[in-house]
Homo-oligomer: A and B are copies of this chain.
Amino acid sequence: MSVHFRKLALIGIGLIGSSIALAARRQGLVDTISIATRRPETLEEARELGLGDSYTLDAAEAVQGADLVILCAPVGAYEGIARAIAPALPSGAILSDVGSVKAHVVKVVGPHVPAGVSFVPGHPIAGTEHSGPSAGFPELFANRWCVLTPVEGTDPVQTEKLAAFWRAMGSKVETMDAAHHDMVLAITSHIPHLIAYNIVGTVADLETATKSEVIKFSASGFRDFTRIAASDPVMWRDIFLTNRDAVLEMLGRFSEDLSALQRHVRTGDGAALEAMFTRTRAIRRSIIDAGQETAAPDFGRPHDTPPEPEPVPLVREHGGGDDA
């Protein structure tokens, strides 16, 4: 018995929404897909990509007759969307989302969910630094985790049906409390992004001459941070506005640890530095072993081909001495 929905409504059609459309279609999980988004240009782009079966600027229209509705718009837009679609959500439907914060989503969407609709917020922990409908691809969720945070009182059969949907697209699924999700994600994602944004910002403030050198020499570590700092600005604005407390808590810990590290540098404590760097190396091994990262060196980045060796002349054109 495989999971199946008659009509999937996607409200928002960026990287995640378009990837869901492609993966759900490929795996045969839905009969029909309706797509709604706010901007006409985006809707046209989705139409040209053939991501859905129907397209509309009206979210309430999109959810008519849907048995699965997934909010894929910026979290900052959720409250307005929830208010608009509430009267049109069919009884028995599952309402979910893909936002990177969960307690806030429960708080702003929950009050609008009609009785008879199962509200199961979700967060697929997957993505690239690209945005928009053309960025999506069906393999995005394969072997990645999806966290579901069903609200209290939700029918477990509905939660399991949504879990099966995500598994069929390749994800592993875990269910947890929304506040716990937000704390773990503050550590694994929100603080790393804040730090990356900060380093890149510190560099952006340098004098132009130094900045161009930094860009030239960025293969030495800096460029890995720039990928994270190239993420969607609106999405990240909303994350820091809505997961404030957990972010500030983890930022405090990070800053305490950084002061301690600074002291080791200032006092020249080589033993403490080496011990710290050895300990952290093991964490990466755990991540590779947990299947969450490639073991290929340098992330598996492609490497350039070196130049062809210059041919050695058979006859010396000038007498004596080495070639310069």
Q: Do B201 and A187 touch across chains, with their CB atoms under 8 A apart?
A: no
User: With A161-B324, A257-B202, A286-B215 in contact, do A221 and B228 touch (Cβ < 8 Å)?
Assistant: yes
Nearest opposing residue in chain B for A298, CB measure: B128
Query: Once the chains are docked, how many angstroms separate the CA of A286 from the CA of B212?
Result: 9
Nearest opposing residue in chain B for A264, CB measure: B240
Q: Do B306 and A139 touch across chains, with their CB atoms under 8 A apart?
A: yes
Query: Once the chains are docked, how many angstroms separate the CA of A130 from the CA of B298?
Result: 9
Cβ of A297 within 8 Å of any chain B Cβ, yes or no, is yes
Q: Do B300 and A300 touch across chains, with their CB atoms under 8 A apart?
A: yes
Query: Once the chains are docked, how many angstroms separate the CA of A139 from the CA of B301?
Result: 12
Cβ of A115 within 8 Å of any chain B Cβ, yes or no, is no
In the assembled complex, which residues on chain B have CB atoms less than 8 Å from the CB atom of A314? none
Copies, count: 2
Q: Do B215 and A187 touch across chains, with their CB atoms under 8 A apart?
A: no
Render A172-212 as a binary contact track against B, CB cut-off 8 A, 1 for contact. Answer: 00100000000111011111111111111111111000100
Q: Of B100, B213, B279, which contacts A201 at CB under 8 A?
A: B279
Nearest opposing residue in chain B for A247, CB measure: B265
Q: Do A276 and B195 touch across chains, with their CB atoms under 8 A apart?
A: no
Q: Do B299 and A141 touch across chains, with their CB atoms under 8 A apart?
A: no
Q: Do B276 and A197 touch across chains, with their CB atoms under 8 A apart?
A: yes
Give the contact-size bracket for chain A.
Answer: 35 or more
User: With A144-B219, A184-B217, A292-B219 in contact, do A248 and B276 touch (Cβ < 8 Å)?
Assistant: no
In the complex, chain A residues 237-254 whose Cβ is within 8 Å of any chain B Cβ: 237-238, 240-241, 244, 247-248, 250-251, 253-254
Cβ of A26 within 8 Å of any chain B Cβ, yes or no, is yes
Query: Once the chains are docked, how many angstroms separate the CA of A229 from the CA of B279?
Result: 9
Cβ of A309 within 8 Å of any chain B Cβ, yes or no, is yes
In the assembled complex, which residues on chain B have CB atoms less than 8 Å from the CB atom of A293? 218-219, 223, 226-227
Q: Do A279 and B187 touch across chains, with their CB atoms under 8 A apart?
A: no
Chain B nearest CB, measured from A305 CB (Å): 6
Cβ of A48 within 8 Å of any chain B Cβ, yes or no, is no
Render A134-146 as a binary contact track against B, CB cut-off 8 A, 1 for contact. Answer: 0101111111110
Pick from A1-9, A36-44, A52-60 the stretch touching chain B: A1-9
Given contacts A145-B216, A187-B206, A194-B261, 12 further A-B contacts (CB under 8 A): A1-B324, A137-B303, A139-B303, A187-B210, A188-B203, A192-B224, A204-B280, A218-B287, A219-B292, A226-B284, A231-B281, A237-B270
In the assembled complex, which residues on chain B have CB atoms less than 8 Å from the CB atom of A248? 262, 265-266
Q: Do A276 and B214 touch across chains, with their CB atoms under 8 A apart?
A: no
Q: Of B169, B198, B218, B222, which contacts A306 at CB under 8 A?
A: B169
Render A1-24 as a binary contact track against B, CB cut-off 8 A, 1 for contact. Answer: 111100000000000000000010
In the assembled complex, which residues on chain B have CB atoms less than 8 Å from the CB atom of A201? 257, 261, 276, 279-280
Chain B nearest CB, measured from A262 CB (Å): 6
Query: Once the chains are docked, how many angstroms separate the CA of A184 from the CA of B248?
Result: 31
Q: Do A233 and B195 touch across chains, with their CB atoms under 8 A apart?
A: no
Chain B nearest CB, measured from A123 CB (Å): 9
